[in-house]
Amino acid sequence: MSLISKIKTLYNGNKKAAEFVLKIAGVYIGWKLFSRFFFNAPFFAGIKNALGEATAQAAYLMLKPFFGQEVSTYPRIVMFAETRGIYVADLCLAIPAMVIFTAFIAIYSGKTIHKLWFIPASLFGIFLINALRIASLAYIQRYSTVEVFHFTHNYAYVVLVYSFIFLMIKLWMDKFDEVVNQG
């Protein structure tokens, strides 16, 4: 059996699942093309800069009650005294995670009215997790080792944010998916 025959058999066996996978693949390819050609375009720079500054400010506000004058902020930077600080770079804004999550909920079944509040609320959750990440990295930079900093920067956030996204998708499927909740 050829590959094309296998794909046709799989598609005919479960059209909705195959269409959903194709939609997700399309979103992923679309995001890759957008990020390749437009992510660094001047008109998008203002959005990224505003999001970077808001993330740094949110991280600062999370740390300030506990550390007072020892922590400070500048545009896109959160720092403890005697450190170089944490710069919120464009790749640290969680934009790909937000785009993929939004697309997933947008193309999944469910009432539009619920999508209109669920997507922004979840995106705000991703933003807060990212701000917590930046605050944690600033704290770790000041009070821990380079190894802990690198592990937290490279791995812990990925697990945390994608676990949150998974839980939000699971919540959507359990509570708002019209196909699942019909029976």
Q: Are residues 48 and 125 in the same domain?
A: yes
Dihedral pair phi/psi, residue 105, rounded to 5°: -65, -40
Q: Are residues 46 and 79 in the same domain?
A: yes
Q: Are residues 56 and 23 in the same domain?
A: no
pLDDT at 180: 54
Residue 105 burial (C-beta neighbours within 10 Å; 0-12, 13-18, 19+): buried
Helix (H/G/I), strand (E/B), else coil: 9: helix
Q: Note the pLDDT tens digit of each residue in 99-147.
A: 889 988 998 888 999 999 999 999 999 999 999 999 999 999 999 999 9
Q: How far is CA 136 from the centre of its chain?
A: 17
**Geometric angle at alpha carbon 100, from 30 and 106, rounded to 5°:** 90
Q: Are residues 163 and 75 in the same domain?
A: yes
In the chain, the number of structural domains is 2
Give the domain range for residue 151: 42-182
Q: Note the pLDDT tens digit of each residue in 140-153.
A: 999 999 999 999 99
Q: What is the pTM of this model?
A: 0.82
Q: Are residues 49 and 122 in the same domain?
A: yes
**What counts of helices (H) and strands (E) characterise the chain?**
7, 3
